[in-house]
Amino acid sequence: MGKLIIDAHSHLWLRQDTEVDGQAIRSLDNNPSRSLFFGEERQMLPPFMIDGKNTAEVFLSNMDYAQVGAAVVVQEIIDGQQNDYLLQVQQQYPDRFFCMGMPEFRFGNDYLAEAIRLMDLGFRGLAIPGHRLTDIPLNSPRMMQLFQEMERRDVVLDMCLADDARQIGEMAEVIQQCPRLRVAIGHFGMVTTPHWRDQILLAREGENVRIESGGITWLFNSEFYPYPSAVRSIREAADMVGMDRLMWGSDYPRTITAITYKMSYDFITKSNELTKEEKVLFLGENAKRFYGFGPLPDLPYIKNMSE
């Protein structure tokens, strides 16, 4: 299969401490691997991350072990803004990480001015969690100004959409109006929800649109490893838009509270539903071209003590 594996959807943070819809989301002081999440205690990190920090160094250790050459780090409102930290990560590990900035869209903030500031600081991509911003039309004049400026600067847009139909037409208009804007649609179109195929079909709206599978093991968690329905959905999406438009993503670290990091992709390598060539494209080649990664480290397989 070759060794080029790139994760197109991951997260890093130093501490969760934010508010969403009036509810606190924060790491718990007595057990920082867990968080208060919309009124519930959740295992947000694997239990061995006992300081509550989801750092680049721990992720790199997981990446090296799983032979993942590089990763795209996106952001989500539930983790709080991590712009300062991710800018440091990008500067420290430029060959291994492609980090996305995230403007604050809430609380009356001037998100356009903040987005421009983040791009001026050097972020080559911006993450917009559209599924949590449904009160702001994606095709509104100010949002279109943002997308046009991103297109002009060749800054990548990572967009997660709501799991209903309301944002799909808006996103199609953005793609049509900004044909050179590189767009990655996250969470594989929320594949376990009714409108996922409509999100996948957005990849037909423009040459620079891709779909990444971040969180697909979470969405099929009730089925669990080796996720045969997830593989079938990848097969169906490839038949709809072409495998060259699809990219693997893990949604690290939340997904590895249930499975290991390597398991978040090796169910694909072991499947007979996809050809060898399709696996190579999906697991790394497409992301390498789309994000412009350069040479990646050679990561040989290291035997476990249990082998």
SS3 state of residue 95: coil
DSSP SS3 for 159: strand
Looking at the DSSP assignment, which residues form a beta bridge with residue 104? none
pLDDT of residue 2: 55
pLDDT digits (tens, 9 = 90+) for 10-49: 999 999 999 998 999 999 999 999 999 999 999 999 999 9
Query: What stretches of 122-214 show up as alpha helix (H) in DSSP?
Result: 141-153, 168-177, 196-200
Give the pLDDT band of residue 261 (cuts 50, 70, 90).
very high
pLDDT at residue 107, rounded to an integer: 82
Q: Give the span between the Cα atoms of 120 and 116, in whole angstroms.
A: 6
By CB atoms closer than 10 A (0-12, 13-18, 19+), residue 210 is buried
What is the band of 99 on the pLDDT scale with cuts at 50, 70, 90?
A: very high
Is this structure's pTM higher than 0.85? Answer: yes
pLDDT (tens digit per residue) in 44-66 = 999 999 999 999 999 999 999 99
Question: Which pLDDT does position 39 carry in this prediction?
Answer: 94
Query: Which tens digit of pLDDT belongs to each residue from 202-238?
Result: 999 999 999 999 999 999 999 999 999 999 999 999 9
pLDDT band per the 50, 70, 90 thresholds, residue 183 = very high
Establish whether the linkage from the previous residue to 226 is cis, with ω within 30° of 0. yes
pLDDT band for 3, please (50, 70, 90 cuts).
Answer: confident
The angle, 0 to 180 degrees and rounded to 10, between the axes of the packed helices 141-153 and 168-177 is 50
d(CA 181, CA 208): 7
For residue 278, pLDDT over 80 is answered with: yes
Around Cβ 184, how many Cβ atoms within 10 Å? Answer: 27
Q: If you search the block for the tokens 């100010």, which residue do you land on?
A: 142
Q: By CB neighbour count within 10 A (0-12 exposed, 13-18 middle, 19+ buried), where does 270 fall?
A: exposed
- How many whole angstroms separate alpha carbon 127 and alpha carbon 129? 6
- Output the six-digit token pair for 192: 């376990």
Spacing of C-alpha 227 from chain mean position: 19
